[in-house]
Amino acid sequence: MSTPFTIAIDGPAGAGKGTLARRLADHYRLNLLDTGLTYRAVAHKLLELGLPLDNVSAAETAARQVDLSNLDRTVLSAHAVGEAASKVAVIPTVRRILVEKQRVFAKAPPGAVLDGRDIGTVVCPDADIKLYVTASAEVRARRRLAEIESMGGSADFATILADIERRDERDMGRADSPLKPAADAHLLDTSEMAIEAAFLAAMAIVDEVLAKRNKA
Ligand code: C5P
């Protein structure tokens, strides 16, 4: 791979895009960025400082301080941080600051897999491959519940489902960079598909593009 190769993966929370992104980055030896962590880092900073999530100037400062090489998944993966992230993610200037960092990351050789909500539409509109990974809200809520239970926790299915639906609404309904498939994205519905099958389907798409690129 000579010029940086980019795989853009978008989709709603819990569709399996994170796992898919990791598998693809490992397989094709590409850098990996979960862009959700960048919005979570901003939200986490505001929560830590006890500031409201619509404090634009504090959110901008926190966004400028985000260091892509130092995103602590353990701290940032908390459910409440995800909720808060979707609130700071509606602030256009925060998005601009984070998108700039994400683009620099994507351009570093040998290329990268980035997953998020606006990768194929805004961050990397020229990505070599765009995947839109989705699943029904019920399936995503069931997966999230299983994940919580596997870590020894407990939660209520109806509450999780309501959270997921609220987050979808906020991510798809916002004015700046709403979640939607890019016109040229390949759709992968994982409602009835195991992650392994989704990985194989994605691999077939990537291999075809790589074969064409190597011939050119
Ligand atoms: O993917 P994750 O659940 O970690 O993302 C948290 C929130 O960050 C999302 O609900 C969304 O509002 C926001 N986000 C975004 N654009 C991205 C990635 C995440 O707006 N590229």
pLDDT by residue (tens digit) across 122-143? Answer: 999 999 999 999 999 999 999 9
The ligand 1 site (C-beta within 6 Å) comprises: 13, 35-36, 39-40, 82, 85-86, 89, 116-118, 167, 171
Domain assignments of the chain as residue spans, ordered by start: 1-30+110-216, 35-109
Summarised one tens digit per residue, pLDDT across range 168-196 is 999 999 999 999 999 999 999 999 998 89
- Residue 107 backbone phi and psi in degrees, to 5: -80, -15
**C-beta atoms surrounding 151 within 10 Å:** 7
Architecture of domain 1-30+110-216: 3-Layer(aba) Sandwich (3.40)
Task: Give the residue, out of 6, 10, 35, with the most ligand 1 atoms within 8 A of its beta carbon, to mutate for a pocket test.
Answer: 35
Whether 123 and 35 have beta carbons less than 8 Å apart is answered as yes
How far is Cα 123 from Cα 103, in angstroms, rounded to an integer?
Answer: 6
Task: Take atom 1 of ligand 1 and give the residue whose Cα is closest.
Answer: 36
User: Which amino acid would we find at residue 80?
Assistant: A
User: Residue 3: its pLDDT value, please?
Assistant: 82
The sign of the CA dihedral 76, 78, 82, 88 is negative
134 Cα: distance to centroid of ligand 1 (angstroms): 14
What is the CA angle 162-166-168, rounded to 5? 115
Summarised one tens digit per residue, pLDDT across range 59-78 is 999 999 999 999 999 999 98
Across the chain, what does the average pLDDT equal?
95
Task: Take atom 16 of ligand 1 and give the residue whose Cα is closest.
Answer: 117
